[in-house]
Amino acid sequence: MRKLNLVLALLLSAFVLVSCKDAKKEKKEVAKETKVEKKAAPVSKEAVVVIEGNDAMQYNKKKIVVKAGQTVKLTLKHVGKMPKAAMGHNFVILKKGTDLAKFASEAMKAKDKDYIPGEDKIIAHTKLLGGGEQDTITFKAPEKGEYDFLCSFPGHYAMMKGKFVVE
Ligand SMILES: [Cu+2]
């Protein structure tokens, strides 16, 4: 009888040991999962945007979306072959409340400044490019909202415009 009790006690302690081990293992696994989750939600500080303009007076994007607080690295590529004087393209983002048509007509008169009439209505802009050229600009995303972008080369904004969205 005593022997039996001893065996039972041993069995019991072995069982306790095993279940303790299991509990530890589980804890470890939970910790692992939490770590993985943290890694899976990276906060990208930079938004890389590439937009193209062509000889048919078109951008290849009508909408660009970035996140508030991001640094935007934007590249405009003129993928056409025509010279700047005939088919120049730039990329201009306007401040909120700026009238697109009015800005475009002011820009038309600013040929000596590559059709940038002044910086006060502009959040960011590239250089004016001819076929085969490209320009990259870096700027801080403005506050959340929708902004107009356009090419300010005379007559282009009717086709070359879109929305720059900060969410
Ligand atoms: Cu253009």
Question: Tens digit of pLDDT for each residue in 48-83?
Answer: 999 999 999 999 999 999 999 999 999 999 999 999
**The pLDDT of residue 35:** 54
| C-alpha 109 – ligand 1 centre gap (Å) | 15
Per-residue pLDDT at 36: 53
The Å distance, Cα 29 to ligand 1 centre, comes to 56
User: Checking DSSP bridges between strand 161-166 and strand 145-150, what pairing results, if any?
Assistant: antiparallel
Q: What six digits make up the tokens of 66?
A: 């970035």
Between 157 and 43, name the one with better pLDDT: 157
| The length of the chain, given as a count of residues | 167
Q: What is the reported pLDDT for 29?
A: 52
What's the mean pLDDT in 14-32? 49
The model's pTM: 0.75
**Residue 112 DSSP class:** G
Residue 66: Cβ-neighbour burial (10 angstroms; 0-12, 13-18, 19+): buried
Please give the DSSP secondary-structure letter assigned to residue 111. Answer: G
Mean of the pLDDT values across residues 116-139? 97
Distance 158 CA to ligand 1 centre (A): 10
- The confidence band for 109, taking pLDDT boundaries of 50, 70 and 90, is very high
Q: How far away, in angstroms, is 155 Cα from ligand 1 center? A: 8
Give the mean model confidence (pLDDT) for residues 130-137. Answer: 98
21 has pLDDT over 70: no
The mean pLDDT of 8-37, rounded to a whole number, is 49
Query: Which residues lie closer than 8 Å to 114 by C-beta, 6 or more apart?
Result: 88, 90, 127, 128
Position 137 scores a pLDDT of 98
Q: What is the pLDDT of residue 11?
A: 43
Question: What's the Cα-to-Cα distance from 37 to each of 25, 57, 136, 148, rounded to whole Å?
Answer: 19, 45, 34, 37
Alpha-carbon Rg for the chain, nearest whole angstrom, is 30
**For position 14, what pLDDT does the model report?**
47
